[in-house]
């Protein structure tokens, strides 16, 4: 398959901007939806056109993997992407190892597809991804009859001997994870019979929405604090065009920067407002953020709106653990906001952060401490002392650990801190947010290498 080079290490020193952040911007397409659009379009019969696809490295890895499995995928001059699907159960065996780069989402979801097709494949990734656990999907997916072989701890490289006649799955998840849920549902597509997933609390439902969009029969019912999803196997998936909204996780960075840089006022256009993805917006408003949502509408089956953001004085709050699934990727930048808030902020239930691109809980604590903030970990909670304890004066070096969200959070901290913040490598930002520096500079950030 085509090899996509990793970004070269690129250090950056960030200082407060000379003037407030101002302007209107649109962040890239939603990464979660972009991955799924390529996968479902590749499994469908016919030609799907995707508008707004995120063209970061993570998503390009998914495109390359689906090409290796026989789908025809190509960008058009107008920015849209066209996918000619193979049809469910008709994927081709890849000629080479599937390199998923830095993307845990791509690797885990693709494992569900590979387990339920009668082909042999092998996945690997970069150093960061090879250190992340895959056992959480290997365990339930083994129920299909597929055979997995991995390194200790279920780590990549991962060999998968898939089943052409996979068994349907019934999985009760102990820990909420949209990736595990989606992998199980993707495996269940090619199984004869009903696949059932019970999740303890609702997680992002882009897979469910897209399954319906492409013609699958799926039901969702409440169960205590969570939900039960039932999927009828062997549907006929038919090509349907997809419009990808702007990524709320990417919007988090200019949003928090505008809240913290005095005098700022910005608009972030067409941001996805799926209620299972908006925990950060809810939390910031509770902290006192001047954040309004205008021009609400529906695009591609997903609610969207324009975020109107003005610099604000934030206050510390308790963020409940049951909110974690709706904002799991936003905790590092929320912790930065908490370091500038008045009063203590307690972020509860962050166990899932330990198995992201890095141990994001430890890395976020290190980011704040290196720049003078007072923060502690109590079990799976992170407690940030806030402005009275020094408000993250800056002046430190941040080790990003090959984690794009840590790098962008460090940039936001540097824009608000009293002293410059050095970042060891911002190259990995391209995996999820191409032209991040360019976009921030359009708002007046003044970032330069």
Q: What is the DSSP string of 257-289?
A: HHHHSTT-EEEEEEEE--TTS-HHHHHHHHTT-
Give how far Cα 214 sits from Cα of 41, 67, 180, 191, 302, Å. 8, 19, 20, 17, 14
**Total structural domains within the chain:** 2
Check residue 265 and give its pLDDT. 98
Q: Over the chain (449 residues), what is each successive 10-residue block's mean pLDDT?
A: 55 96 97 96 98 94 98 97 97 98 94 98 94 93 98 94 98 93 98 97 94 96 96 97 95 98 97 94 98 90 93 97 92 97 96 77 95 94 83 86 94 96 93 93 93
pLDDT for 3: 42
Give the Cα separation of 263 and 260 in Å (integer). Answer: 9
Check whether residue 317 and residue 425 sit in a common domain.
yes
Q: Say yes or no: 78 and 217 in one domain.
A: yes
Q: Are 198 and 228 in contact (CB under 8 A)?
A: yes
E-strand spans in 59-217? 72-75, 81-86, 98-99, 120-124, 147-151, 155-161, 170-172, 194-199
Residue after which a domain boundary falls, among 243, 268, 294: 243
- Residue 363 sits at φ, ψ, to 5 deg, of -70, -35
Distance CA 280, CA 301 (A): 21
pLDDT of residue 8: 66
Regarding whether 257 and 199 lie in a shared domain, the answer is no
| 448 domain residue, yes or no | no
253 & 296 share domain: yes
Mark which of 212, 243, 274 sits at the end of a domain.
Answer: 243
Torsion of CA 17, 18, 23, 24, to 10 degrees: -20
Question: Could you give the maximum distance between any two Cα atoms of the chain, in Å?
Answer: 62
Residue 4 lies in a domain: no
Assign residue 136 the CATH number of its domain.
3.65.10.10
Domain termination site, one of 243, 260, 282: 243
Same domain, 182 and 250: no
- Do 199 and 273 share a domain, yes or no? no
- Cα 436 from Cα 426, distance rounded (Å): 10
Whether residue 229 lies inside any domain: the answer is yes
- Closest to 313 measured CA to CA, from 252, 261, 248: 261
Range of the domain at 223: 31-243
Q: Please list the residues that pair with 76 across neighbouring strands.
A: none
SS3 366: helix
Residue 340 resides in a domain: yes
Q: In what order do the strands lie in the sheet with 226-232?
A: 170-172, 194-199, 226-232, 218-223
User: In this structure, are 194 and 277 located in the same domain?
Assistant: no
Dihedral pair phi/psi, residue 115, rounded to 5°: -65, -25
Yes or no: say if 368 and 336 are a contact pair by the CB < 8 Å rule: yes
Residue 284 lies in a domain: yes
> Which of 126, 247, 329, 403 is the catalytic position?
329
3 state SS of 398: strand
Q: Is residue 380 among the annotated active site residues? A: no
Pair 267, 370 in one domain:
yes
Position 238 in a domain: yes
**Looking at the structure, do residues 16 and 54 belong to the same domain, yes or no?**
no
Residues 236 and 254 in one domain: no
Q: What is the mean pLDDT of the chain?
A: 94
Report pLDDT for 5.
47
Cis (ω within 30 of 0) for the bond into 155? no
């Amino acid at each position: 398959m085509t090899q996509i080079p990793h970004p070269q290490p690129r250090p950056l020193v960030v200082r407060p901007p000379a003037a407030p952040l101002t302007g209107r911007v649109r962040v890239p397409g939603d990464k979660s939806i972009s991955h799924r659009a390529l996968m479902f379009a590749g499994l469908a019969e016919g030609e799907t056109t995707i508008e707004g696809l995120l063209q970061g490295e993570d998503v390009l890895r998914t495109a390359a993997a689906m090409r290796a499995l026989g789908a025809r995928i190509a960008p058009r001059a107008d920015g849209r992407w066209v996918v000619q699907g193979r049809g469910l159960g008709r994927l081709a065996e890849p000629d080479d190892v599937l390199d998923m780069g830095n993307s845990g989402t791509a690797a885990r979801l693709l494992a569900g597809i590979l387990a339920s097709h009668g082909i042999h494949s092998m996945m690997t990734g970069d150093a960061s991804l090879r250190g992340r656990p895959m056992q959480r999907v290997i365990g339930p997916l083994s129920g299909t009859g597929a055979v997995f072989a991995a390194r200790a701890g279920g780590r990549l490289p991962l060999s998968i001997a898939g089943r052409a006649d996979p068994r349907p799955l019934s999985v009760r998840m102990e820990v909420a994870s949209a990736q595990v849920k989606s992998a199980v549902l993707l495996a269940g597509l090619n199984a004869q019979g009903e696949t059932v997933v019970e999740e303890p609390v609702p997680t992002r439902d882009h897979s469910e929405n897209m399954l319906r969009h492409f013609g699958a029969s799926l039901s969702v019912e409440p169960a205590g604090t969570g939900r039960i999803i039932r999927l009828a196997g062997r549907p006929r998936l038919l090509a349907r065009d997809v419009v990808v909204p702007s990524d709320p996780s990417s919007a988090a960075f200019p949003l928090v920067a505008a809240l913290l840089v005095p005098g700022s006022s910005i608009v972030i256009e067409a941001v996805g407002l799926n209620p299972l993805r908006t925990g950060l917006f809810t939390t910031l408003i509770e902290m006192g953020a001047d954040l309004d949502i205008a021009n609400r509408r529906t695009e591609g089956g997903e609610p969207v709106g324009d975020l109107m953001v003005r610099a604000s004085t934030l206050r510390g709050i308790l963020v409940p653990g049951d909110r974690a699934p709706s904002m799991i990727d936003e905790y590092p930048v929320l912790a930065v906001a908490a370091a500038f808030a008045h009063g203590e902020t307690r972020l509860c239930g962050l166990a899932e952060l330990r198995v992201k691109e890095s141990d994001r809980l430890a890395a976020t604590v290190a980011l704040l401490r290196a720049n003078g903030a007072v923060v502690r970990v109590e079990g799976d909670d992170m407690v940030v002392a806030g402005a009275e304890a020094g408000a993250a004066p800056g002046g430190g070096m941040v080790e990003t650990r090959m984690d794009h969200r840590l790098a962008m959070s460090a940039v936001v901290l540097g824009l608000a801190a009293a002293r410059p913040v050095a970042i060891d490598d911002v190259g990995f930002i391209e995996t999820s947010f191409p032209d991040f520096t360019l976009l921030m500079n359009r708002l007046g950030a003044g970032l330069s290498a």
